[in-house]
A and B are shown apart, each in its own frame.
Chain A
Amino acid sequence: MSAPQINISDVASLARLTLTPEETAKFSAQLTQILGHMETLSQIATGAVPEVTPPAQPALRQDIPTPSLSIEAALSNAPAQANDLILVPRILE
């Protein structure tokens, strides 16, 4: 089994990344090489792989309120805000 041809543009789009043509070409070559290295995995017989049993008592959270950030602190890093809302440009459906 040989390494698949990644459609770099499609994958980049899923990750909301725009690559330059140079980046696309470079990454394409590099990732093909990296994936080639990974081909050996398909040959490994995994058979009956032991399931990790989760701990008996999961450390869940009790439904009791804890302090939130102040509105100021929550918005302190927001690049754009108004009326205590975080602003973004138009969202096209």
Chain B
Amino acid sequence: MSLAYETIATLRRRILSKEIHPRDILKDLFTQIDAREKTLHAYTYLNRESALADAEKADLSLPLGGIPIALKDNLNALGDPCTCASKILEGYKAPYDATAVSLLRQAGSILLGRTNMDEFAMGSSTENSALGLTRNPWDSTRIPGGSSGGSAAAVAGRIALAALGSDTGGSIRQPAALCGCVGLKPTYGRISRYGLVAFASSLDQIGPLTRTVEDSALLLSVLAGHDPRDNTTDLRPPEKFLTQKNGSVQGLRVGLPKEYFLPGMDSETESAIRSAADWFKKNGATLVDVSLPHTPTAIAVYYILATAEASANLARFDGVRYGRRATDARDVLDLYHRTRSEGFGAEVKRRIILGTFVLSQGYADAYYRQAQKVRALLRQDFEKAFTQCDLLLTPTSPEPAFPLGERTQDPLKMYLADVFTISTNLAGNGAISLPCGFTKSNLPIGLQLIGPRFGEETILRAAHAFEQAHEFFQRLPPS
């Protein structure tokens, strides 16, 4: 079997036993890429030569020694482009490594390439990329999800072993669900954001997209930890995750938040999630009905706070110090206007304008400050729920992958699709999405497990147990 179909855990064992060499993995991956990438268009950039060179020098004793990993195109990697799928960063070459990238290198992994995304991580379908569409490996007429659509499509499409993504309102979990792979958004403050191009600073987190929960835990162990360069990272000492894989959910209290199970839900999604809940019950877990009463406000709170922060974070893209600069500008003001208007796509402009508005004089109290207050209430909802249960179980996405082009003219409808993932970012909790079923048309359905803050170990153990008891993770997309 092609090495591209293996998990990192397996490949590491085979590398250490000298059965295979990292160049063998790359060879198989490149074969798959050559066959599938044209359709999927998951990548914006491939490090073919440097990956092969790195494979020869890889220190195989390190935890990820010789393992190629793809990066979402919003993570700075020294010497490589970092386009964020935007025209405004055309030509930019990163003069530094993101901490997460540095940690990957220190763990011996090889940078394989950079994956497509919604421009500046703003979107849920990867249709907002200035660098072309990415397609869902299960049905090329459908979206892969977003904004880490390229990462999910690559992993699910077997043209990457694993990829890093970023999640601000669901951008790792939702594409993982729609593409049928595992996507983990750690607790806010778990992984350093230094070097991740910021969308919404209080919501963004880097996380792994992988084939299995075990691989996810492996990457989390490498990436988690305090970074003196990121003031928002937590100070707790480093941890290794999922070292015990006993696969039992006995005694686990699994909460089902009623606001996530509304009438009129997509029936196939609901059915798959209910089956998953039943599995937990059958295996010794207790199901608990809980409530997260402020859930209906989450979209509004998110789109106020995220766009407000984004409007400031994206102000630096002005053609002065890097990236694309409008030609023949009359003066600096003209430079700003033309560079930004020519360089940003419609969704980015829309969000910058919304974010600027909710912070502006006369409106900031009613919008920005009010949203901050309600955010605190959402956080409180989660804290209260976790006094009654150990994990929350919900769908990741209200529906499976919809067709490309269906929602591009209706931004609000697009925003409403984030409803199940958004609250976790607002509360700062960690959550995982993993496959829990398929629709009749063979589209993946994702199960979301949300944990208390810094409760990744609980999430990973439960997810691993569920995963290994089912075969969803082994199903391959059509060739």
Contact = CB atoms under 8 A, between A and B. Distances in A.
Q: Is there any pair of Cβ atoms, one from A and one from B, under 8 angstroms apart in the complex?
A: yes
Contacts of B58: none
Interface stretch (B206-214, B282-290, B340-348, B397-405): B340-348
A34 B415 contact: yes
Nearest to B328: A89
A77 B332 contact: no
A50 B380 contact: yes
A77 to B, nearest CB: 4
A91 B300 contact: no
Nearest to B428: A52
Closest 7 CB pairs of A and B: A77-B322, A79-B325, A46-B373, A16-B336, A38-B300, A73-B95, A18-B337
B356 A11 contact: yes
Nearest to A13: B337
Interface in B330-359: 330-338, 340-341, 344, 346, 349-350, 352-354, 356-357
Contacts of A82: none
Interface string A21-40: 00100010011011101101
A38 B304 contact: yes
Nearest to A80: B325
Contacts of A57: 235
Interface in B309-334: 311, 315, 318-325, 329-334
A16 B314 CA distance: 11
Contact of B299 (A8, A30, A37, A80): A37
A82 to B, nearest CB: 14
A21 B10 CA distance: 57
B377 interface: yes
A41 B297 contact: yes
Contacts of B315: 15-16
Nearest to B303: A34
B235 A38 contact: no
Contacts of B349: 17, 19, 23, 27
Contact of A12 (B331, B353, B376): B353
A40 B296 contact: yes
B401 to A, nearest CB: 24
A33 B412 contact: yes
A37 B319 CA distance: 34
Contacts of A89: 329-332, 334-335
Interface of A: 4, 6, 8, 11-12, 14-19, 23, 27, 30-31, 33-35, 37-38, 40-42, 44, 46, 49-50, 52, 55, 57-59, 61, 69, 73-74, 76-80, 86, 88-92
Contacts of B350: 27, 30-31
B319 A79 contact: yes
Given A18-B338, A77-B323, A92-B333, 11 more contacts: A14-B356, A16-B315, A33-B412, A34-B415, A38-B300, A42-B370, A50-B380, A57-B235, A61-B228, A76-B95, A89-B330
A44 B294 contact: yes
Given A41-B374, A73-B95, A17 B352 contact: yes
Given A11-B360, A17-B353, A77 B235 contact: no
B140 interface: no
Nearest to B229: A61
21 contacts: A6-B357, A11-B357, A16-B333, A23-B349, A34-B412, A40-B296, A41-B374, A42-B366, A42-B370, A49-B377, A50-B380, A58-B231, A76-B95, A77-B93, A77-B321, A77-B322, A78-B321, A86-B321, A90-B330, A91-B332, A92-B332
Contacts of B235: 55, 57, 59
B301 to A, nearest CB: 7
B370 to A, nearest CB: 5
B357 A40 contact: no
A37 B95 contact: no
A79 B380 CA distance: 47
A11 B412 contact: no
Contacts of A38: 300, 303-304, 367
Nearest to A72: B95
Nearest to A70: B95
Contacts of B366: 42
A15 B311 contact: yes
Given A18-B341, A78-B322, A41 B371 contact: yes
Interface string B401-442: 000000000011001000000000000000000000000000
Given A37-B412, A42-B370, A49-B373, A69 B331 contact: no
B357 A31 contact: yes
Contacts of B95: 69, 73-74, 76-77
Interface in B255-274: none
A73 B94 CA distance: 9
Interface string B177-221: 000000000000000000000000000000000000000000000
Contacts of A88: 320, 332, 335
Contact of B412 (A30, A44, A80, A90): A30
A76 B329 CA distance: 21
Contacts of A55: 235
Contacts of B333: 16, 92
Task: Select the residue from A4, A6, A38 with max chain B CB neighbours within 10 A.
Answer: A38
